[in-house]
Each structure stands twice: as C-alpha cells, then as structure tokens.
Structure 1
Amino acid sequence: MPQPSAQVTAAEISRIAGVTRATVSNWRRRHDDFPAPSGGTESSPLYDLPAVRAWLDARGHTAAVSPLEELRTSLRLHPQGGGAAANLLPLVLTTARRTPDELTALTELPDADLAARANGAVSTLAETVPGAEASRFSAGDAPALRALVRCVRDEGGEGALGVLAERELEDSATSGTYRTPDPLADLVARLVPGPPSRVLDPACGSGTLLTAAARRGATELYGQDSVPVQARRSAVALMLAAPDATVTVHTGDSLRADAFGGLAIDAVLCNPPYGDRDWGHDELAYDPRWAYGVPARAESELAWVQHALAHLVPGGHAVLILPPATASRASGRRVRMELVRSGALRAVVALPAGAAAPLHVGLQIWVLQRPEPSGPERRSVLFVDTSEEPGTVRAGGTTEAGSRGGTRGGGRASLDWTALTDRVLTAWAAFTDAPDEFTDEPGIARAVPVVDLIGDLIDLSPARHVRVSRTDIEPAELARETDDSRRRLVAAAGSLGRAAGHVGWQAAGPVAREWRTATASDLARGGALTLLRTAPDAKEPKEPQGAPSVPTATAVLTGEDIARGTDPTGDPSGLRPDSTPVIAAGDVLVRSLAGGSGPMVRVAAESDEGALLGRQVHLFRPDPARLDPWFLAGFLGAEENIAGASTGSTILHVSPGRLRVPLLPLEEQRRYGEAFRRVHELGAEARRTTELAEQTARLLASGLTGGGLIPSSTGTGPSVPSDSA
C-alpha cells in the first residue's frame, strides 16, 4: 500500500520557505495555483507536503531551506515515520567525527553506496550506543541520510540531534520524559563537593545531568534509562559533549534490573520519574537497597533515593530532583525519619514553580551523602527556600524551558538562574564548611537540628523551616521600605507613559508590506556582519582581528542578562579570555534559548563593552556601513523569526544562521532602527514598572497581615511613625 503524503501547516511552510507566515498568507490569496488544503480544519488547514515543495521549487524558494529544515522535512516524508529518527541517532555520532569535506563527499554517493556506508558506520557503535545494531539502512533511506549528513556538516551534531528529538524522542508529559535544562543541571552537579570523577544517572533521559557532570570534570559517565530510544539518545549526546570521557549507557529499568549492580561511585545525579505506582513495590519488597525502610507503593521517589545511596562509596554524594510531596507525604515518614536520623540527608532546596516540569509545581533538590563508618556525626540538615526568589518575575507571558523540558505558555517568566544558583551554593558551601556554626538567613536558609526534625510528621518542606515572621522586622523600617517602593513605582509609571508617547506608526496599506530577505548566514558570507559564539569547550579562538582587547578578569554577558536587561553578571572562571569573543558597543546579542519573558535580543551599549560572551548567547557584529544595529536587532528578535529559526520540542535552540533580515537601503534601515529602539525602551519601562508594582503589593500585603503595618486613617497613603512612637 502506498504511504500517505505528509501534511504541513502554514507555519511549517513558512519555515520551509524561509519566509514569514504573513508571506504564506499572501501567497494563498494571490496565487491561484497555490496548493489547496488537503486536510485539517478551516481555521487550521493542512497542505500536502510534496505539492507544497513542488510549488516552492517552481518559484525558487527551496534555496532558502536550511539543513535543519531539510532534515525535518525528510523525516516527515520518510515511510518509516518517527522510527526513522531513532535509527538515525547513531549516525549523528559517526558523522560528527568526520571533516566537512568528507561529509560533502558522502552526500554525493549513489543511494545504495550511501546506505552501505551508513550500515558500516553504525556497526562500529554496537558496543557503545544501545540499540545501534538495530539501525539498518537501504537505498530508500538515502534522502534522510543525505539530509542528516548535510545537517551535521552545516549545523553540528547537537543541531541534528535536536531535530531527531522532535520526532521519535518527543519530550512530553504523556511519555513521562523531560529534558533537564542546563542551568538546573549545572546547579545539581555543583552541589557535589569537589569535582567527582565517576558519576551515575540511573534515569538518564537525554543525558543532561551527566553532561553537566562532565563540564565539572567527570571522566567516567554511567547512565541507564528504561526508554530504549532515550538511552540511545543519551549515549550519543554524551559522546558528543564529552568526547574525552568514558561513557557507558544501558537500557532498562534501574529499579527492577540494575545494569550497574555492585558499582560504587563518587556521585549520583538523577531526575527520576514522579508518581510511579508501578515501580516494583511487591517484587522488590526484600531488596537489600532498602537500608532506610521499604518504600511504600506511593513512594517511588524514596525508592530512587535509596537506589542512589546504594551506589555510592562511603562519603559519596547523591543529588536528586524530586516533587515536593516527597518531603511531607504520610506514607514516606518512616523512610524520611531514617534518612534524617542516620545523617544521610544533608540538604533540601525548594525551587520556584516553573524551574522544573511539571511547571506549575515548585520541585525540590535533595542532597544526600552515604554515611561513613566511624565518620563525623551529622547533627543538622540544611534547608534553603528559593521558591520566592526576588529575581523571579511573576508577570504573565511565555515561560523559559523548564525541568526536563519547558513550555511556550504559562504564567511565570524566566527565572534568574544566576541569582538562584549563587544563593543555593553560597548557603551549601557555608554549611558544608562548618555545619554546627552555620548562620541562619531568615526566610532563605536555616540549618535545623536533627532532633527538631524527628517527630510524627517529619515534614522536610523548606518553607516550613525557614519562613520568617514579619513581626521580626521593626514596623518603622517596614513602613519606610514600603513607602520607598511606592515612590519608585510612581516614578516608573510616569516614565512608562512618556515612553509610550514616543513610539509612532502608521498603517502599511491594504495588505502587509513584503520584502526580500536574506539569512544571517548569507549576510555573513557577504561580509555585512560577523557571527560569533563562545565554543562549548572554549578551545578554538573565535575573535576576529581588530576586536577589543581582552581584560584579564571581566564579567560575562548571559542570556539571563539579556532577558532581564541587566549589566553582565556571569562568572568568567569557566571561560578562557584568549579564546572567547569580547563584546563591543553596537554588537547585536541574541539568546540561544528561545522562550521566556523579556527581550530575546539586545544591542550592546558602552556599559557592555569588554564583557565576555556567554555560552548561551549569539553575537552578530554588523558592518555599520551596511547594517544598522537597531534595525538588525528588531528583525532578529521578531517572534516569527525566532520561531522559524528554532529547533527542539520543549527547549528551543535558536540557530543564528537561519534568522532572516529584510534587504533594505541603509537610510530606511535607520528609520526602522529608531522605531525599534523606542519600542525597546517601552518594553524595558513596562517590565520595570510591573516588577515594582508587584514588589510594592507584596510588601503591603505581608506588612498588613504580619502586623507591621496598619491601615491609615485616610486610607490614601503611608503613615510612617516617628522613631519615638
């Protein structure tokens, strides 16, 4: 039976053709021969993909298709469907090890020869990539094979891996798999004291936690996952990210069939499945791993905790990301009591909602340490609460990628990962240095004696132990703080009104304006701009001649800085200044992770000059004689442009070379640039005003409920008592 043709939406057509969705809508209205819908609904029509490609090819639009989009399209047309993505996974690793010239030669081979080469390549990975031996190719797979080779050659192995993950490896709540985002993975890895050399993740998923461990210097990485294609994905991702490390990944359920039985290692990092009642409670009732008590059927998370402890050498650390109910459910109180009583539990950190999937729940990080025979007595547990992190904006809008995944909708804006990480690590370092001398930080961190934790409930929720009462703050001080916040809010509201009045516009006409566009890659090849990015390992010099000199110590501009509009705040210790791009005034900076609140793009000001470029930021350096920086920033940061240049399902990575820019005269660019600059100022004032309004409301609410503030007699303004009152 012939396979049905793949169908695409209007948004997918815009990505294939490298144009905006408005352009696709104009094509539909103006060209009678544009393919008619072949499915879908009136409001969301679907189009036959081969017919669309033929129509675009006849008009020369297929030249705009990026290697990523070509691979995506080839997978949609493949008779095997999503299974083709899983089969192609091992080839990402083998092709990434070849030179660009070798890859070009592969694309020119006849179909049968290309398939034979692919079969030979994956056969060499049977011992290192789970399921690689099942990947077999024929001449019919040649279009997908060529698309993959071109994608790896032009976009790199990680870019190709992201496209494959959109198909067979879709991260979703339905499959129970989520990708832990890099900032959270780095925080988890840094909670292990000292750089561990041997690290295990028994539910490794996409391998993000093990990759973070490799960035800290781990040389032996062990992973296991019950989803075969996830284990395969993890092995490929780890060997791409840490080519010098020894990587061992197996398929299977770690609780029922531990592939690393008897292995004792330095550290375990894990983001296990949550709420799994079928984890093997009955068949594992007498398992020797349950040294702290048999976990209840509803406590699969406590089974993972004890599995992690069982794999540690004495004194080794385990760090797990767990749901908050694990800290308080009645069914787990006996196991929690033994974990506390034995000294195995060292710290519990509460994360803000939106930091991890499920995004509406504030997850927790548990830090554990396997007790050492005749080791020191552990008399307290550290609790840190970042659920109300001041840098976290709660305005509406899109949400940054979350734990093991992300979302493009929701109520919480992107987190201030830099501030959150610093707060947690500072408290943890002080606690590990001198647990008995730890100075509590009211409302944030507290070391609680073990004897105070053991009781009927043994509730380990951080908020329960670190909360601060407003009665601890002098009423006069609270009133002054609230009035200061209110005054700054009034001033910000005035600035917002003035900024709104500076933006001018007019209708383009009966239909939206159209223009010819070019990709950033095309503009770079033509010399109109230079594309720069900090290399993952910071080994290869990326800075062109004539760039600003590198200071011996400087800050790093991060993606969070762009989103928040702050000065560079990143730590330069992980970068080599002699091989990291240095920012100059007028550079256009784009966050590499799409989503979240705040701007995606920033034009570097004089205050940014000399800062190092963060790893998750792309730098576009325009030739001022050919490109206006604000014009470039305005179009690069357009929502549809970012969406069309992004890959991934939950965490969206921006491919800088795919971003498109209209081809306009410089004088017209400058008019657009001035408009974009004023729009940027309007957005910045709006975010500042929103943050101050929420801060003032929180101060008022907490002051009134805590007794530090009382309603004034007039009800219209603050009443600040004198010091003598």
Structure 2
Amino acid sequence: MPQPSAQVTAAEISRIAGVTRATVSNWRRRHDDFPAPSGGTDSSPLYDLETVRAWLAARGHDSAASPSEELRTTLRLRTQSAQSSGGGTSNLLSLVLAAARRSPGELTALTELPDADLITRADRAVTELADVVPGADGVRFPAADATVLRALFLCVRDEGAQAALGVLAERELEDSAASGAYQTPAPFADLAARLIPSTPARVLDPACGSGTLLAAAARRGASELYGQDTLPVQAQRSAVSLLLTAPETTVTVRTGDSLRADAFPGLVADAVVCNPPYGDRDWGHDELAYDPRWAYGVPARAESELAWVQHALAHLAPGGYAVMILPPATASRASGRRVRRELVRSGALRAVVALPAGAAPPLHVGLQIWVLQRPEPGGEERKSVLFVDTGSGSGQGALSVTRTKGGGGRTGALDWAGITEQALTAWEAFTKDPDRFTDEPGRARAIPVVDLLDDVADLTPTRQVRASRSDVDPADLAADLDSAREGLLRAAGSLTQAARHSDCVAAGASGGEWRTATASDLARGGALTLLRTTPDTSPEAGHGVTSEGRFVLTGEDIARGTGPTGDAAELRGAAAPVIAEGDVLVLAVARGEGPMARVADGKDAGALLGPQVHLFRPDPARLDSWCLAGFLSAEENITGASTGTTVLQVSPGRLRVPLLPLAVQRTYGEAFRRVHDLRAQAHQASLLAEETARLLAGGLTGGQLTPLGDTAARAGCADGDSAQ
C-alpha cells in the first residue's frame, strides 16, 4: 500500500533549511509559491515534506541540514505503519554498531542499494549482533524504513556512531528522565570511577542507563563490564556505546529490573558503579521483604536508594568498592536511619562526597557520591567516615547556573577540575591513613563512627564538615578578607575600564541587513575550515593528532574563560586537531547565557581540541577571527543552529555569517573583542565579590570579625546592654 505523505512543522523546515524560525515565517508571508499547509491547524500548520524539499531545492537550501539533523527529521517522520511493523527507534541502535564496523566507502555503497536490498542487508547485520546487543535477535526492518536506514548510515559515516546513538535515544532518554533515571555527565562519571582505588578488572552497573559510568570504568582499565537496565532502549544503547568506545573490553549488558530480576545473580564484582533511579516507591518492597541482600536492614518503601546500595554491596567481593550517586535526602531521611546506622557501624560506608547543585540532572539538587566497601571477614576495624563538601570554600566547585527565558535552569561554568581535585585529594589522604587524616574545616572531615551512631544517623556532608568558631583563626580570616577585597577593587577598576571601551552608536535604518552564508558554504568556498575531534575513522580523522604530553581545551574551559585544562589521556586515542592562534572555538552544546565562543590566543595554541568544542579556522585574508567569533556566538544564530530537546547540540555547518568586506569585519572584530573583555572582567569581579561577601558574612556570624562601629556601642554590647 502507498505510504501517507510525511508532514513537517515550520520548526522542522527551519532546521532542514538551516535558517531561523523567523526566516520561515517571512517566506510564508513574502512568497506566494511557498507550499500551502497540508494538515495541522491554523496556529500549528503542517506541510508536505516533499513539496517543501522541492521548494527549498529551487532556492539552494536543500543541503543545509547536517546528517544528524536529517536522521532526526526522518525519525520524526516515520509513518505509523512502519513503527507498528517493528521498526521502532530502539531497533535501530544495533544497526549503529554494525555501521560503525564498516568503512566510509562501504556505508556509501549501502545507501546506494535499492530499498529491498538495503533492508535485507540491514536485517542480516543486526542478526549478527544478537549475542552482544540485547534485543537484537528477531529485529526486522519494514520496507518503509529504507529512508531512515540511509540517513542513519550517512550520519555514522559523516559524524560518527556516537552522534547517531544520541539522535536515536533522545526521545527514550527524555522518557527515562521523567521516571527518575538521569544520564550521568562524563566528568561526573570520571570522578566516580577515580574514587575506586587501584584498577578493578570486573565492574558492574546494575542501572547502567546509557553506559557512561561503565565507560569511565573502562577508561580506568576495567577489562570486564556488566550492565543491566530496566529500559530496553537504555540497555541497547549502553551495549552499543560500550562496544564502540571500549572495544578491547568484554561487554555484557542485559535488560531487566536488577532489584526484582537480577541478570547476574552469581556475579562477584571487583567494583560497582551506579546512578540508580531516585524516589521510586514501586521498587519491590513487599515482594522482596525477606531478600538475603538486606544484610544491613530491610529498606523502607520510600528508601529505594538504600535498596540499590545493598544490592551493590551484595555483588562485591570482600574488600571491593561501590560508588553510588544518590540524592541528598538519602543521607538524612528518618525512614532510612536504621540502615544508615548499620552501614556505618559495619564499616561498609567509607565516604560521602557532596557536589554543588547543577552537577547532573536533576540540576536543582546537590547530589552526593557514597563510597562503600564490602567488609572483609577479620579485616581491619574502620573507625571513621570521610565527609567532603565540594560546594564550599573559595571558588572550588563554583557553579554559575544560568536561566533561560522560560525560567528553566541550565548548567553554567561548573569547575569539574576543582571538584575532582578536592574530592580525590581528601579521599586519597584518607585511604592512605584514616587515623592521621587532617581535617579541613568547612571542606573535609573524618568523623568517628561512634559520633554517627545517634538516633538520626545524619550523613549529610555539609553538616558534618561545618567549621566551628574554634576552627578559624580571626587573624587568618581577616588577612583572607583583606586579600579578597583588594582583588575585588582591582577587578572593579578593570571592569570600569572595559565598560568605557565598549561604546557603540545607533545604526541607520538599514543596519543589520546583510547577506549571509552558512559556515558550510564558507568551508566549501575555502574561506574557513571546520575541524572537530573524531572518535572513529571518519574522513576528518587525518586533521588530528594524539599526544599524551598536551593539554586539551574543553567546553568548560571556554565557559569559565580559562586556559586548556583537560587531560589528553581522556581522549582515548581520538583524532584531535591541534589549536592554532586565531582559531575560533565554539561550544558544541548550547547554553542559556554566557560565552559560547572565543578566539584562541597564545595560551590556547598547541593544545588539543576537546570533544565538545567546534573549531573554525578562518582564512585571515578573507575572514577576521574576532568578527567571525562574534557573529557565530550570537544568541539567535546559536538557537537557529541547535538541535535536540533536552540537550541542545550546535550544528556548526548551519551557523550563519554576514558577508562583509574585510575592513568592515575588522571594525566589528575589535568591537567583539571588547565585548569579550567586558564579559571576562565582569565574571572575575562577580566571583571576587561573592568570595568577599562570603568571608564577611562567615566572619561576622562566626565571631571572628567585629564591625567597625561606635566604640561605646560595641562596649555596651559587651556589657549586655544591647537592645533586646
């Protein structure tokens, strides 16, 4: 039967054409031949896809969409009959792995096959992966999926397998987030993996999600990876992603509920890493009441997280470590106090590390990392538990949370390097000699076990590490305050200077009316080169080098305005371009506010490009770097070139640049450079102002500082004559 015609929204037309929504609206008003709506409503019309493509092709807009955007569009437009025939999005995940094992030439040849032959080859390729990808057996693609398969092969060929995985799993990941399961950011996962002493060979994640934690364990040297997840799409994505990123490891991933139906009942792991679902009251409390895993007490119905903790401990070899990412309520809820006391009393709980809000979804919650160790029979008595608060102190772990116009929070500049250093420094010192650990008031403390075994058993790091008056010397605090205040005054002066040099005048009536071109168009014309770090053997891999002796410029470096801080070892053999002075660096993930781009200077030159950064290398005879950076990072430009929903990925080729004479570009470039300086000075002044205020407030309330007021009034306060 003939398939119904696919329909697209105005937003999808803008992504296909590589323009903004406003441009599509203008086309509808100004061009009588613009396709008429074929469905939808007056407020949300739908348009026939093929008619739109023909109209765009006549105006040179048919090739603006990136391969990942083409894949995203074809997925959205799959007909209901194709999906009901077994062509669900999750079934395509296995095909990504099969495609990644083929050369670019082979993928091109596949896209040129007739539909029937293409479907047959795809069915065969997925069947061959039945032993390694859960759910791959029995997959059959309907004839209507030929268009999607071609888009998938082209995305893998041009942008890499991980990009294709991200597109396929977007909708399913949003559904899982709504149910309390969240994706763990890579820096967070790396910190969790590094909290496991030595190098564990066999690592389990019983709620593996997309496999981020297991991938971090593989980077630490794990040779056997085991994962399980309730959602089939998560298990499939995890298996495919791990097989792509850690091909030398043994990967075993299963689908199912680990608490109710453990897929690895006899597995004894060296380490367990896990970011379990939060707040799940339907975890099996009644049916699992007599489960032998509850060696530290039966978890209450509201304490699913403590069930996951004990599940992890049950899978460990004696002396093995578990690292769990948990919500802060787990440390203090009354219903969990008995289990917490037993975890402390037995010595199973070794450390609790608090992170700032915004470290990972849910962004409004400051998550915690619990480090546990299964007690060894006859082992050494553990007399204390380490508590670390990475959100305290002078700037370490500082987080700038920006707000979108809709009011939603979005992560800003999170100092993962500072968080990681603070947590690991304290943990390594504690594990080396717990009895001689030196407390850092307000940051890290080793609390005796006996002090934690009260009726509350509160394990909240912020409360346990809180500095008392006796911990802080008034003279030292006053010296720190003077230093911070002097720095703030200098920064305020620099900010004033930067503001004075940012003058502009009103443009004329025709201001801002430029002809523009996409970055892809400029690249094809030789005006600039687009480079990126490639994790696989794509055609762009020849642009990069790998070197363990170099730093890596990360997305966080751009957001914070720092020099390169990343470790080249974390690139794991990826082909990374070497940054040159004058390159324009743009974040690959859209942010609500703050810097999205900068021009590489001397401190950036020679560093390797991080995986979350796009590099634009302009021809200096045709493009000015600062002018290019200013227009590329414009809010409307970034929005128009971003794809996705939960995470907005910037498609570099779709960013638009005005076509201006070089002399005019240089004038704009100087203005954009001053804007960059103004933003950097404002950021520095803001950090120093917050630090100064923190020291003042803490000193005044803690009694280390006294306000300079009337001497008699202060004497009266000392005599008890103050107003009541």
Tell me whether the two structures share a fold, i.e. TM-score over 0.5: yes
Cα deviation digits, residues 76-120 of structure 1 (max 9, x gap): 211138863222111111111111111111111111111111111
Amino acid in the other structure paired with 2:422: R
Cα deviation digits, residues 607-640 of structure 1 (max 9, x gap): 3233343343333332222222112222332334
Q: 3-state SS of the aligned residue for 1:672?
A: helix
Is this contact kept in 1: 2:358–2:401, CA < 8 A?
no
Q: 3-state SS of the aligned residue for 2:88?
A: helix
Q: How has the CA–CA distance of structure 1 residues 617 and 65 changed in structure 2, closer, same or farther, with 3 Å as cutoff?
A: closer
Residue 397 of structure 1 is matched in structure 2 by 402
How do 1:64-83 and structure 2 match up within 5 A? 64-80=64-80
Q: How has the CA–CA distance of structure 1 residues 193 and 464 changed in structure 2, closer, same or farther, with 3 Å as cutoff?
A: same
Is this contact kept in 2: 1:255–1:280, CA < 8 A?
yes
Residue 637 of structure 1 pairs with residue 638 of structure 2? no
Residue 587 of structure 2 is matched in structure 1 by 591
Deviates most, 339-348 or 526-535:
526-535
Deviates most, 354-363 or 497-506:
497-506
Q: How has the CA–CA distance of structure 1 residues 566 and 123 changed in structure 2, closer, same or farther, with 3 Å as cutoff?
A: same
Is this contact kept in 1: 2:28–2:34, CA < 8 A?
yes
Amino acid in the other structure paired with 2:481: T
Q: How has the CA–CA distance of structure 1 residues 374 and 255 changed in structure 2, closer, same or farther, with 3 Å as cutoff?
A: same
Residue 410 of structure 1 pairs with residue 409 of structure 2? yes
Q: 3-state SS of the aligned residue for 1:235?
A: helix
Is this contact kept in 1: 2:74–2:151, CA < 8 A?
yes
In 2: Cα distance, 1:531 partner to 1:381 partner = 50
How do 1:225-244 and structure 2 match up within 5 A? 225-244=229-248
Residue 258 of structure 1 pairs with residue 262 of structure 2? yes
Is this contact kept in 2: 1:393–1:413, CA < 8 A?
no
In 2: Cα distance, 1:538 partner to 1:217 partner = 23
Q: 3-state SS of the aligned residue for 1:674?
A: helix
Is this contact kept in 2: 1:72–1:163, CA < 8 A?
yes
Deviates most, 224-233 or 168-177:
168-177
State the shift of 1:601 in Å.
1.4
Cα deviation digits, residues 567-603 of structure 1 (max 9, x gap): 2233345469997543322122223333265422121
Is this contact kept in 2: 1:382–1:447, CA < 8 A?
yes
| TM-score (normalised: structure 1) | 0.89
Residue 30 of structure 1 is matched in structure 2 by 30
Is this contact kept in 2: 1:414–1:596, CA < 8 A?
no
Residue 723 of structure 1 is matched in structure 2 by none
In 2: Cα distance, 1:231 partner to 1:579 partner = 28
Residue 435 of structure 2 is matched in structure 1 by 436
| TM-score (normalised: structure 2) | 0.90
Amino acid in the other structure paired with 2:214: L
Is this contact kept in 2: 1:628–1:666, CA < 8 A?
yes
State the shift of 1:335 in Å.
1.1
State the shift of 1:41 in Å.
8.3
State the shift of 1:447 in Å.
1.1
How do 1:507-656 and structure 2 match up within 5 A? 507=507, 509=509, 513-520=513-520, 522-536=521-535, 553-574=549-570, 580-595=576-591, 598-656=594-652
Residue 666 of structure 1 pairs with residue 671 of structure 2? no
In 2: Cα distance, 1:427 partner to 1:710 partner = 32
State the shift of 1:395 in Å.
5.0
Residue 453 of structure 1 pairs with residue 452 of structure 2? yes
Is this contact kept in 2: 1:23–1:514, CA < 8 A?
no
Residue 487 of structure 2 is matched in structure 1 by 488
Deviates most, 235-244 or 296-305:
235-244
Aligned residues: 702
How do 1:59-98 and structure 2 match up within 5 A? 59-80=59-80, 84-98=88-102
Q: 3-state SS of the aligned residue for 1:627?
A: coil
Residue 423 of structure 2 is matched in structure 1 by 424
Is this contact kept in 1: 2:412–2:591, CA < 8 A?
no
Give me the identity figure in percent. 69
Is this contact kept in 2: 1:636–1:661, CA < 8 A?
yes
Cα deviation digits, residues 31-51 of structure 1 (max 9, x gap): 233346678888x74442525
How do 1:212-227 and structure 2 match up within 5 A? 212-227=216-231
Residue 115 of structure 1 is matched in structure 2 by 119
Is this contact kept in 1: 2:359–2:414, CA < 8 A?
yes
Deviates most, 534-543 or 342-351:
534-543
Amino acid in the other structure paired with 1:518: T
Q: How has the CA–CA distance of structure 1 residues 554 and 70 changed in structure 2, closer, same or farther, with 3 Å as cutoff?
A: closer
Is this contact kept in 2: 1:96–1:157, CA < 8 A?
yes
Please report the RMSD computed on the Cα atoms of aligned residues, expressed in angstroms: 3.1
Q: How has the CA–CA distance of structure 1 residues 610 and 66 changed in structure 2, closer, same or farther, with 3 Å as cutoff?
A: closer
Q: Give unpaired runs (5+ residues) of structure 1.
A: 400-406, 716-725
Residue 154 of structure 2 is matched in structure 1 by 150
Is this contact kept in 2: 1:188–1:319, CA < 8 A?
yes
Residue 720 of structure 1 is matched in structure 2 by none
Residue 125 of structure 1 is matched in structure 2 by 129
Residue 679 of structure 1 is matched in structure 2 by 675
Q: 3-state SS of the aligned residue for 2:225?
A: strand
Q: How has the CA–CA distance of structure 1 residues 133 and 714 changed in structure 2, closer, same or farther, with 3 Å as cutoff?
A: farther
In 2: Cα distance, 1:90 partner to 1:411 partner = 32
Cα deviation digits, residues 141-175 of structure 1 (max 9, x gap): 11111111111111111111111122344355423
Q: How has the CA–CA distance of structure 1 residues 609 and 67 changed in structure 2, closer, same or farther, with 3 Å as cutoff?
A: closer
| Pairing partner for 1:362 from 363, 366, 379 | 366
Q: How has the CA–CA distance of structure 1 residues 48 and 676 changed in structure 2, closer, same or farther, with 3 Å as cutoff?
A: same
